[in-house]
Amino acid sequence: MNFGDIFNTFRKSQPSPEEAPSHWIKCPECNSLMYYKEVENLYHVCPKCQYHMRIGQEVRIELLADEGTFIEFDKGLIPVDPLKFVDKKPYKKRVVEGEKKTGKKSSVVAGECTIDGMPTQLVVFDFKFMGGSLGSVEGEKIVRAAHRAIEKKHALIIVSASGGARMQESTFSLMQMSKTSAALKRVSENGLPFFSILTDPTMGGVSASFAMLGDIIIAEPGALIGFAGQRVIKQTIGTELPEGFQTAEFLLEHGFLDMVVKRENMKKTVADMLHFFDAGMENSDRRTYKAAGRRVDDFVEDDTSSAVL
């Protein structure tokens, strides 16, 4: 082996940038470099600027559900390719890539858990799977979770992180907007609470359907929430958009949200609401119980009138 071969062997043994482990995280907002353990301990929130980083389904479930209580349902549902759709890549290949990234067969995980001891149906989106897009499988999982909530008299919680309806399924994905909305109407008719948690981003057909139908609508700080992108809106109306347009704080100020809750307070806030709604249902007919008349201020931890926790 000559001298050059030694260096070639050394180069081949080195991991690629994607494979190499990293102990440092760069904040997308303020560009601060932080030790990953510090960020993990803060629920993936930047300690410098409080930017709420995107997190996957497993972390989200761990954050909300009581330890060891989450049971996943409908694992066997997988996307099909009814239109044989091809853009830059075949749809089937995109699904396989999404599965490799997340270990799941769709952008939604649906299951049952307890939150502070309260049995709950929980649905969580993962943006890493095809941008958290809403397709036939995702819609079916939401509907089945709604049916389980009705059957078992549980609250329903959906955590959204999505770019909208999945274009590779065309009309099949658009149908999920009405399908999920109809299922949530049945949840409401049975007097059961539905909490919608909006994370960064919640856009398109998801924001235009079930995400905005919650009895209580909560968002994380700084989350991007809207239907079309800012560039499209600006070009359509031909005028400058207000500062902070489509952020959670902007929507809260204009009455589209009930509260903006920091990630560290999310479980306690949701648990308080679950106990509150359950107490209300115990003293009334579940079929006629409505969220109307309940005040968001009842869930605020301090004495101020702000709905930001």
Domain end position, chosen among 53, 74, 99 = 53
Query: What do you get for the CA distance between the two ends of the chain, in Å?
Result: 65
Claim to verify: residue 34 and residue 180 sit in the same structural domain: no
Residue with tokens 């952008």: 107
| Rounded Cα distance, 143 and 182, in Å | 9
Residues 26 and 161 in one domain: no
Is the domain of 245 the same as that of 160? yes
Q: Are residues 19 and 92 in the same domain?
A: no
Same domain, 164 and 269: yes
Q: Decide if 10 is inside a domain.
A: no
Contact 34, 72 (CB under 8 A): no
* Residue 167, pLDDT score: 95
Residue 101: name the closest of 160, 60, 42, 57 by CA: 57
Judge if 169 and 289 occupy the same domain: yes
What tokens does 179 get?
A: 């399908």
Nearest residue to 188 via CA among 148, 145, 146, 142: 146
Residue 304 placed within a domain: no
In a domain, 44, yes or no: yes
Both 237 and 173 in one domain: the answer is yes
Q: What is the C-alpha to C-alpha distance for residues 292 and 120, in angstroms, rounded to an integer? A: 21
Within 10 Å of residue 238's Cβ, how many Cβ atoms?
6
| Predicted TM-score of the model (pTM) | 0.85
- DSSP for 111-129 reads EEEEETTEEEEEEEE-TTT
Distances in whole angstroms, Cα of residue 160 to Cα of each of 131, 138, 243: 11, 11, 24
The answer on 155 and 33 residing in a single domain is no
Q: Which domain holds residue 49?
A: 15-53
Judge if 214 and 140 occupy the same domain.
Answer: yes
CATH number at residue 140: 3.90.226.10
- Residue 224 falls within a domain, yes or no? yes
Q: How many domains does the chain have?
A: 2
Identify whether the C-beta of residue 176 lies closer than 8 Å to the C-beta of residue 135.
Answer: yes
On whether the CB atoms of residues 161 and 201 are closer than 8 A, the answer is: yes
Do 37 and 63 fall within a single domain?
no
254 part of a folded domain: yes
Q: Are residues 46 and 175 in the same domain?
A: no
Q: Are residues 115 and 200 in the same domain?
A: yes
What is the chain's mean pLDDT, rounded? 88
Show Cβ contacts of residue 268 under 8 Å, excluding neighbours closer than 6 positions: 116, 301
Query: Which residues of the chain fall short of a pLDDT of 70?
Result: 1-22, 280-309
pLDDT (0 to 100) of residue 213: 98
